[in-house]
Amino acid sequence: MPQHAEEQASRWLATLSARLAAHDAEGAAALFRPDGFWRDMLAFTWTIETAEGAPAIAAMLRDRLAATGAVTLTLEPGSARTDAGVTEAWFRFETALTRGRGHLRLTDGLGWTILTAAQELKGHEEATGRHRPRGVEHGAHPGRQSWLDLKQAREAALGDTEQPYCLIIGGSQGGLALAARLNRLGVSNLVIDRLPRPGDTWRSRYRSLCLHDPIWACHMPYLPFPENFPVFLPKDQMGDWLESYASIMEIGFWGSTEARSARHDGEGWTVEVLREGKPVTLRPTQLVLATGMAGAPSMPELPGSAGFRGRQMHSSAYRSGAEFAGQRCVVLGSNNSAHDIAADLWEHGAQVTMLQRSSTTVVKIESLMQFGVGKLFSQAAVDSGITTEQADFMMASRPFRLSAAIQKGIYDQIRAHDADFYAGLEKAGFLLDFGEDETGHSMKYFRRGSGYYIDVGACGLVASGDIGLRSGVSVKRLLPDGVELSTGEVLEADLLVHATGFDPMETWIAKLISPEVAEKVGHVWGLGSGTAKDPGPWAGELRNMWKPTAQQGLWLMGGNLAQARFYSRILAMQIKARQEGLVAG
């Protein structure tokens, strides 16, 4: 069976190569099922794009083959296998400008899905591995500068006598991963953040926060976590790691620096920043907003707020329940931060009530590890030979259009496995959902404004009544000593935490650049899935993330640690290609 699969995949790739070489777009598309998919990352389209259906594949190839140049596709020996009628195989490829890796799925001899992801630019490879710098020229050289001399000179010049080609706003995982990639490509860059140190975004969150993704999914580029680090990293350890990472990767970083405004003149950017209270003007060619997946905290304006004698805060400003021991606390919301904060308050002896305005997707972390992400990112996966890079490519090989059905199957298993857990929550009055299309949190994660909770312990407190719950309610108004609900019930409160999420990411564009540019760029994040908070049309890929936007020279970098690791390479290559004049823009 493996030999047959290898022969089938090899023949199919050879035929595709021949038709691409002949610029036969229709012939190449005819190798696919009518409902086939081609997911491309830079190799053909110089963006991240999925062509859905044979006609769309033909159109993409007609448009891009001439510019792509010669294409060769070579099967990775031993990678092909057939299971349940689907033949899968990995391959390497080259175009005129790139080298990359791809994945193929065949059914009945026709292409079902193909991924082509560029990994390096020819002639501009990363300074790693066989391309690593020598570091020193042996011998005697008058006036030689040491590594430290050169590092300090670069740091002093950057942003002063030398302008960065790329300015990155945001000093957490996304900004640092991209900066590390750009450094290896020889692209001058600078990371700025309003907080003092790299990783402070993590340190500044609530005391009990831990990563909800297992450590195998969270490695940064080039530098995996040590083997003795815990499966779920506490937020302060994550902050320390990112600060160390920035130092080891020689990332230029300005802390305590706020970007005040940015404008593009057709050639490059003028960005006004306040660095430790002093105004500085930066003039990068490329500008990256690496400010996470969302915008500013969304804080509702409630009637009676001025007269409320207790404390109010957004979840992003919450730190610890230690100061609220014995107090009456209300948490508005039922997402990840709402549950974590409610549990933290309870641990510190507060009386806590959660207000759940609408239904929420919940999944136990153990079940997610067993049925979901744990199959690719776990010690068992590592032991079976699945490296982090292999897991990343396996995740990338599946078009979003097909992911919904896969995730629904996963959550069907989870719901059956955890039936008693969900029954306990519902008995307590908790409103559950698994997404409008029953695909659980994994697809909601890619949609705008979708709430979910990965349970790390709070659900047991809700089910037992230790954390009080009012579901299907909203806040009508605040009273001097409490919260009046839409049902008319009044809850006495010394603290109200608004776990009400964040504005869309495009609000940062409007604030920093202009509302007009934000409107031109359009929605950020989301697939256009046609669900309540992710309106269509269907985009097929996350909108405006890690790829060119409608505003020249503006890029957006966001997502979790796994996405920061994988897509930082894709974004860095696009920026390098523009610096070298390989691609316009």
DSSP 83-126: ETTEEEEEEEEE-SSEEEEEEEEEETTEEEEEEEEEEEETTB--
pLDDT tier for residue 93 given thresholds of 50, 70 and 90: very high
Average pLDDT over every residue of 139-163: 89
Tell me which fold the domain 2-121 belongs to.
Nuclear Transport Factor 2; Chain: A, (3.10.450)
Q: What pLDDT was estimated at residue 369?
A: 87
Tell me which fold the domain 297-502 belongs to.
FAD/NAD(P)-binding domain (3.50.50)
Per-residue pLDDT reduced to its tens digit, 40-68: 999 999 999 999 999 999 999 999 999 99
- Of the ranges 94-103, 143-152, 439-448, which one carries the lowest mean pLDDT score? 439-448
Strand partners, 354: 331, 469
Q: What pLDDT was estimated at residue 1?
A: 52
Per-residue pLDDT reduced to its tens digit, 525-560: 999 888 777 888 999 999 999 999 999 999 999 999
- Of the ranges 161-175, 208-222, 247-261, 366-380, which one carries the lowest mean pLDDT score? 366-380
**Element of type H or E holding 502:** strand 502-504
Q: What pLDDT was estimated at residue 531?
A: 79
CA 202 to CA 246: how far, in whole Å?
14
What's the CATH number for 151-296+506-579? 3.50.50.60
pLDDT for residue 22 is more than 70: yes
pLDDT tier for residue 136 given thresholds of 50, 70 and 90: confident
Per-residue pLDDT reduced to its tens digit, 272-309: 999 999 999 999 999 999 988 777 888 889 999 999 99
Per-residue pLDDT reduced to its tens digit, 346-384: 999 999 999 999 999 999 989 988 888 778 999 999 999
Q: Are 291 and 194 in contact (CB under 8 A)?
A: no
Give residue limits of the domains in the chain.
Answer: 2-121, 151-296+506-579, 297-502
Q: Tell me whether domains 2-121 and 297-502 share a fold.
A: no
User: How many C-beta neighbours within 10 Å does residue 267 have?
Assistant: 9
What percentage of the chain has pLDDT greater than the value 90? 82
Q: Where are the alpha helices (DSSP H) in 428-513?
A: 440-444, 458-464, 506-512
